[in-house]
Structure 1
Amino acid sequence: MTADIEQRLDTGKTLSLSLPGNRYLDGVLEKIIPGNGLAADPGISETRILSLDSIQGTVEIYLRAGKIRGMLILDINSNEAYKATFNEAGAGILERQEPDLYYCVNYPTPTFTSQPLTAAADIANAAPAPDLDTLRQLQSKPQAPNVLYINYWGGVLSDTVWNSGNPISYTAFSQDSDTTSFSTTERHDMWLAWAETAEDYAPFNINVTTDASIYAATPANRRVQIIATTTCDWYGCGYGGVAYLDVFGTGDYYGTGWAWNRYANSLGVTISHEAGHQMGLGHDGNSGTEYESGHGNWGPIMGGPFGRSYAQWSKGEYPDASNQEDDLLIIRNTLGEVIDDAGDSAASATPLSLPVIEKKGLLHPEGLNTDTDVYTFNLSAPGSVTLEIGPPLGLLQESMGTSLSLKAQLVENASGAVVASLSPSDPPSSNVLIQTLQLAAGRYDLFLEAVSYDSNWASGFGEYGNGGYYSISIAQEIGPDLATNALAISPIVVSPGESIGMLSAVINLGDLDAGSSLLRYFIASSSSVTPNDTEAAETTDVPALPPQVTAQLSQPILLPQDMPLGRHWMASCVDPVSGEVQTGNNCSTAVEIIVATGSCDTNALNVQKTFSSYEYLKSHTSVTLGNSQVTTNGELYIESPQVVLGAANAPFFVENGSVLSVRSSIPDCP
């Protein structure tokens, strides 16, 4: 190295480098960062980064105590890497390196049909194709401090290592020539790729998101992005994707990767693969290729497992593996691991309240820790219970992309009997438990484990990378459930021997049809009316009711001639029907009835009187009271459009302890 060259290495300066074979590379010093760069050599205090003219690649010059102590040259166009370490005199030798130690070399595209044959059926059956507003706001862990941003949206990338530091204008994600809108299939595949990536990184403390605002709000040393686009001319088309290795936490200069694979069989795993490089992972290959495609329906994420049902992190346990690095440990050391989200035994089981609707959980792969998730729920009465349990993508009938092969057992706690079970199976769409059971009352425990459907590495996979999301839905069949509401206006003021109109509504709150029934009426001296109180002679037929259907029923009830004056209460109660378990709501709340004596007339009433008992005055036109009073313990109920109480020479008094009720309405006089 030339003496004092360090003083001439300022931002914007041009440097010419000589490579073996009489080759020269020219570059411009673009950036100075503290600490070491891609080579990660210990003791480096500063890294100066050059972008190369006319070719893809970078040069990093490493300084310690102000002196150059190393250099890394990456020529991506030629897939060549060179590294040198310099002594105190500035002497060193460039040694050729494997380029895939520093970036993703020639990541392939699928060699089979580009559009999976099952995609259209998946969309038609169950899998979502979200609207754009939803697609732009997907998040896997909103509270996580780290962010992996899947950028589908097009834009301009500036001030990065790519394209010799020049801006790159890139299109939005697309599977056809139209890059301005998204088809139903495109929206489905964008969602699926996010879901696959979110599951691959589920054990780790990172939010996989499609939301640009989340990425923008995250510190540069806590974020990376993968741009999914059709734009590749600046790099060279024909590759599946590219990213630099071990760059998470270094900022935005190296923090962008690219995904050019664009269909459901390859998009999700490409995003996870390139992000895996950013976390520090190398390739999983074999003696014949750098990218292990897998076997059966399994493949390693850091290989090229396009179209495999199960794509998982690996530590090189498959036959002829070329890389035994511990993927899960490396990612955990970079991002941290999320805590277990459920109990691991019946004694520590996480309680569930029915119904359970698509509760998501996570089984950590064995490569991080052994994880069993246990939940418990109680049935207060015998009933029909429907279970839907499995990996979320499997429940949506997706044929690829999950990381979890699941085993499940539902156990009756008292007897220890297994009442339902799910055995691991392939493909993921078959690894689901959908079953309706007739269960006795009591406690039930649900055990969930990650278990390979085939642990033979020649045809299946072991438990190292087997883990991921599951979904639980538990619906208890209620059966018919009739509930009654009284619709009459309270209080009702009547005389002994008169009829009152009881208007009631009966609704079937259950989830099965309710057969026809009978509505009965009960009278009590308190507001707590039950079928044990005095029953009226009248009944009303209640028709058969489907779930959530209401019948409004009106019934005149004739009061006895000798019914005592005073306050009474009446409720309507529907008889239970076959299959009805919940009967606590079969009776309505009580309607207050005031049994009194009095006058009801279509003409005006002018009254002078002392009211000392339960009495009423009702008129279609008016009621006038003068020289009158309601004495202690007396109750007077007036109902008329116009009411005049007292005058200058005809006073009206209401004594303490009495009741006066005035309702401005036209009464229903017999």
Structure 2
Amino acid sequence: MKRKFTSRAVPSTRTPRLIALLALSLGAVAPVLAADGAELGSADALIRNLRQQHQGRQALSVQTADGTSLPVLVRDFFEQGGRVSVSGRHRDSEDSLFFLKGDGKSLRGFLVLHGQKKAWEYSTDARGVVSVKPVPLSRVYPDLDEDFQRSNRSTASLAQIAAAHPVYSPMALRQAPHIGAYNNQDVTKLESKPGSPYVFYLNTAAVMSGSTPLNGVTKENMYRAWQSVADQYSMLQLNVTTNKAVYDAAKASSVLRTGIINFVNQDGRSFAPVHSFGTTSAGTLYRNPASGFDYGYGIGMTGAHEVGHQMGMLHDGGGTGGEYYEGIPAYQWGPIMGNYWMGGSWTHQLFTWSKGEYSTASNQEDDLRIMTVDEAVPYMADDNPSGKPLALRTGGEINPADNWGQIERNTDTDVFTFSLASAGTLNLRVDPIEYLRMLDVDATLTTAAGVQVARSNLAVNRSAEFVNLNLAAGDYKLIIQGGAEGTPQNGFSKYSSLGYYAMKGTLSAGGTPSPIPLTSGVPLGNQSASTGTWTYYTIQVPAGSTKLVVNLSGSNGDADLFVGAGQKPTTSSYACKSDGSTSTETCTVNSPVAGTYYVAVQAYATYSGLSVKATASP
């Protein structure tokens, strides 16, 4: 037997509003007319109805007071752990969009008729009741502002930006997959965080012929477009990819952890539906080949901005820029959700996420909270939670291949330690190493007791530097964190000063080289040494390991391998050795005890380009 429903009376003096006509499943809450639109009943009831519609049993239909019918055709329905993701369209219009996500207590989504430029928003109130109401199209697509493109994206400004794209730091040596210049990668198979279940797919199929870009665009341009988006989200466990197979696998596992934006091979204003991450509803990224828009920097900035909308963020407005804040030229800083074009030619541009701290901000939403809490995409794990030794090569060289890290959160500090047996001199530079960077480096040198010796945060430069810094004998800590300039009101705070960095320099006279730490199964490349020198590494072997395998791989010179348990090995004292006549060596320790193992590489003859890998199994 069906439950008896009641509804509120509507005074005749009110203006026409939406009337909901719902083909309800048994026991669903009846729709009633609400002051701000039409109430569709409980979130649970709406989910049941949409599930049944997807199964071909019933349909959801909304009809306006003027007779406009809004029946929903569900294309994708995904449910996991009490949460749902629904995507589809208006039943009678191919040129339409519908998406909804949430759970039995809270749902959010939109229905859009593109041809009619009309939109309706679905939302849940404190009672758990879902209502639908008409909203401006810009509520769904914040970038549908035709005047913005005409006034701020002239051909001249595009050419200026194209010529002024960021310069890679010489320290960017592929410390992560998205770091460093293009090196002949297949641009249809790029991944920033391989293996992560959280995936955002840049669908470039329409602008590629196989693995070759159309319109004479270079593969390097396409690489930099992907790289720029990956940079802006590198603090998250989000795999930004151009590989459809990776996206399809992630989507099959959980649509709620995925997003997609489609490249389009024509001129136009890029746009994306807000809050569509976690659904199969896609954003649209125009490449504007006719206007010179085909370059990595411009499309990368636009892609990062539009993906931001899909993650749930609106525009950062204020000042003379209105809805699109133009940034602060004195600090070469601006919010990526503002008018990033105005700072596109800055030499040391810094585009970051924001929470509206600048004085004229019209939007105080917390971008990082939206991504990590509302959208539930987790931060990357801390790569340096308790400090690590500063890795010193022969002669006190501080090499960026050995000394790098990531500031994952604005509360993160990375500590590197070193000791001086006698007075010494430090020359060191710390660079952000991402292409479309967010990190402004702040470096502090202290004694082991925490007394500050020196600090550097170069003004409008993003790097830190110590030049000919004289140090007494003792123990030291180098502390790296996100920097800030000016004030939060006129400048920027460390709120989203996040990203990867690397260090290069020398610690001369009295420096005690610290062993270079290895990560199990991860090769450390680009190692070199001259005849007669020793280089030391360490690997932590966990309890229960069945064996430790160490490999050297090199094409020149003669590197010999020695492994020691708990102490540095020598040519006469070791747990394992391999000293053939080349730089390709393998050493295996069976049933190793848990603890620190030292890997020593002796240069019997000068070598370069050597790869060192240690793997503890299982």
**Bucket of the pairwise TM-score, normalised by the shorter protein:** 0.5 to 0.7
Equivalence map 1:459-498=2 (5 Å): 460-476=491-507
1:57 to 92, 96, 114: 96
* Distance of aligned partners of 1:291 and 1:54 in 2 relative to their CA distance in 1, 3 Å threshold: farther
State the 1:454 CA deviation: 1.8
Secondary structure of 2:405's aligned partner? strand
What percentage of aligned pairs have identical amino acids?
Answer: 27
Q: State which of 153, 156, 159 in structure 2 corresponds to 1:111.
A: 153
SS at match of 1:328: helix
Q: Secondary structure at the match of 1:267?
A: helix
1:415, 1:224 → 2: CA distance? 44
Match of 2:370 among 330, 350, 355: 330
8 Å CA contact 1:151–1:225 kept in 2: the answer is no
In 1, the alpha carbon distance for the partners of 2:240 and 2:109 equals 34
> In angstroms, what is the RMSD of aligned CA positions?
5.0
**How far did 1:24 drift?**
4.7
CA contact (8 A) 1:57 1:75 kept: yes
Question: Does structure 2 retain, via aligned residues, the 8 Å contact 1:259–1:270?
Answer: no
Specify the alignment match of 1:313 in structure 2. Answer: 353
Match of 2:300, SS state, is: helix
Instruction: Render the CA deviation track for 1:315-354: whole Å, top value 9, x for unaligned.
Output: 22223323222111111112122233224xxxx5322331
2:399 counterpart letter in structure 1: I
Aligned positions of 1:582-621 closer than 5 A: none
Give, as a single letter, the amino acid of the residue that structure 2 aligns with 1:114. L
Residue 241 of structure 2 corresponds to residue 209 of structure 1: yes
Q: Find the aligned partners of 2:486 and 2:108 in 1 and give their Cα distance.
A: 48
**Matched residue, 2:185:** 133
Match of 2:484 among 443, 447, 452: 452
TM-superposed deviation, 1:447: 1.4
3-state SS in 1 of match to 2:200: strand
| Cα offset, 1:130, TM superposition | 1.4
CA distance in 1: counterparts of 2:350 and 2:299, whole angstroms? 14
CA contact (8 A) 2:226 2:241 kept: yes
**Which residue is equivalent to 1:292?**
325
Aligned to 1:443, the other structure's residue is in SS state strand
Note if contact 1:11-1:29 (Cα within 8 Å) is conserved in structure 2: no
The amino acid of 1:147's aligned partner reads V
Corresponding residue to 2:133 among 95, 112, 120: 95
Does 2:420 align with 1:388? no
For residues 465 and 377 of structure 1, the distance between their equivalents in structure 2, rounded to whole angstroms, comes to: 29
Deviation at 1:423, TM superposition (A): 1.9
For residues 615-664 of structure 1, what are the alpha-carbon distances to aligned partners after superposition, in whole Å with 9 as ceiling and x for unaligned? xxxxxxxxxxxxxxxxxxxxxxxxxxxxxxxxxxxxxxxxxxxxxxxxxx
The alignment partner of 1:374 has SS state of: strand
| Residue aligned with 1:229, SS | strand
- Give the distance between the partners of 2:302 and 2:327, measured in 1 at CA: 15
Relative to structure 1, the CA distance from residue 115 to residue 434 in structure 2 (aligned partners, 3 Å threshold; closer, same or farther) is farther
CA 1:254–1:220: 2 relative to 1, 3 Å: farther
Unaligned runs of 5+ in 2: 1-19, 26-48, 125-129, 173-179, 288-292, 511-529, 535-555, 559-601, 606-618
- C-alpha distance in structure 2 between counterparts of 1:407 and 1:338, whole Å: 20
Amino acid across the alignment from 1:465? S
Q: Which has the higher contact order (CA 8 A, sep 6+)?
A: 2
Change (3 A) 1:52 1:259: farther
Alignment match, 1:238? 268
- Deviation string 1:531-559 (CA, Å, 9 cap, x unpaired) is xxxxxxxxxxxxxxxxx999xxxxxxxxx
Pair 1:134–1:376, CA change in 2 (3 A): farther
Stretches of structure 1 lacking an aligned partner (at least 5 in a row): 37-42, 87-91, 155-169, 480-506, 512-547, 551-584, 589-670
Letter in 2 for 1:272: A
1:268 Cα deviation (Å)? Answer: 2.5
Deviations 1:119-171 (A, max 9, x none): 4786699585414426455443334321223344x2xxxxxxxxxxxxxxx22
1:247 matched to 2:247? The reply is no
Partner of 1:404: 439
| Equivalent residue in structure 2 for 1:426, among 454, 460, 464 | 460
**Residues 149 and 223, structure 1, Cα contact 8 Å, conserved in 2:** no
Distance 1:440 1:280 in 2: 52
Q: Which amino acid aligns with 2:324?
A: Y
| Distance in 2 of aligned mates of 1:221 and 1:199 | 23
CA change 1:53–1:104 in 2 (3 A) is farther
Please name the residue that 1:258 is paired with. Answer: 285
| 1:442–1:222 Cα change, 3 Å | farther
Question: C-alpha offsets along residues 89-111 of structure 1, whole Å, 9 cap, x if unaligned?
Answer: xxx99632244443443265552
- Say if 1:473 and 1:413 are closer, same or farther in 2 by CA, change over 3 A: same
Amino acid at match of 2:353: W
Q: Quote the offset at 1:179 in angstroms.
A: 0.6
Equivalent residue, structure 2, for 1:363: 407
> Following TM superposition, by how much is the alpha carbon of 1:298 offset from its aligned partner in structure 2, in angstroms?
1.9
Larger Rg: 1
Q: Which residues of 2 match residues 331-350 of structure 1 at below 5 A?
A: 331-333=371-373, 334-343=376-385, 348-350=386-388
By how many angstroms is 1:409 displaced?
Answer: 2.5
SS at match of 2:444: strand
Name the aligned partner's letter for residue 238 of structure 1.
Answer: G
Contact 1:388–1:434, Cα closer than 8 Å, also in 2: yes
Calculate the TM-score normalised by the size of structure 1: 0.53
Which one is further off, 115-124 or 384-393? Answer: 115-124
TM-score (norm 2): 0.57
